[in-house]
């Protein structure tokens, strides 16, 4: 680093109330120091020399420009925040769609289980009725008592449905 940039850093560090501006000024000073003449002799310049003071006075405008640059920084920060907001919005949309898909899958699973239960119940009742109707006595004739039980169950189911429909 050049002695010039060190002196400006000291001036910038004196202002402790605006830390954000200090960082920007330090960055601006380092950029300005990189543009200095490389033939600059480091040993000749001392903090007390008139050249350094003159250069410091000339660079105060650059420090002020750096301070003015910080006023423009919030716009850049705002654009970055907007990008983050757009990412957050996209992430929220993605999470919402993912949640909706998961809810739809759960609804489909519940409907499928309900359908399977009703199918299983009807198959069970049909199997029971078929077994009752298939019963035979010793001579191979149909068991009328079992057929009467099947008819009685059908009538009771129909009556129960009618009662539920009226309530």
Model confidence pLDDT, tens digit, residues 16-29? 555 555 554 555 44
What was the pLDDT predicted at 162?
92
What was the pLDDT predicted at 78?
65
What was the pLDDT predicted at 74?
59
Classify each residue of 114-123 as buried b or exposed e, where b means 16 or more C-beta atoms within 10 Å of its C-beta: eeeeeeeeee
The two tokens of residue 152 are 């009685």
* Per-residue model confidence as pLDDT tens for the chain (167 residues): 455 555 555 555 555 555 555 554 555 445 444 455 444 444 444 445 454 444 445 555 555 555 555 555 556 666 666 666 788 889 999 999 999 999 999 999 999 999 999 999 999 989 988 998 899 989 999 889 999 999 999 999 999 999 988 86
What was the pLDDT predicted at 61?
56
What was the pLDDT predicted at 40?
47
Return the sign of the alpha-carbon dihedral for residues 6, 12, 13, 14.
Answer: positive
Beta carbons of 58 and 7 less than 8 angstroms apart = no
């Amino acid at each position: 680093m050049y002695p010039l940039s060190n002196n400006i850093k000291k001036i910038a560090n004196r202002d402790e109330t605006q830390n954000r501006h200090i960082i920007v000024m330090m960055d601006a000073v380092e950029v300005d120091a990189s543009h200095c003449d490389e033939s600059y002799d480091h040993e000749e310049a001392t903090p007390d020399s008139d050249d350094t003071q003159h250069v410091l006075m000339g660079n105060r405008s650059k420090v002020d420009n750096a301070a003015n640059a910080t006023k423009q920084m919030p716009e850049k920060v705002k654009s970055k925040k907007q990008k983050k907001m757009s990412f957050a919005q996209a992430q929220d949309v993605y999470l919402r769609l993912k949640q909706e898909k998961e809810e739809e899958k759960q609804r489909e699973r519940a409907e499928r289980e309900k359908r399977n239960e009703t199918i299983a119940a009807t198959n069970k009742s049909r199997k029971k009725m078929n077994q009752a109707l298939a019963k035979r006595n010793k001579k191979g004739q149909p068991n009328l008592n079992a057929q009467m039980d099947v008819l009685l169950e059908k009538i009771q189911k129909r009556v129960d449905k009618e009662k539920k429909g009226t309530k």
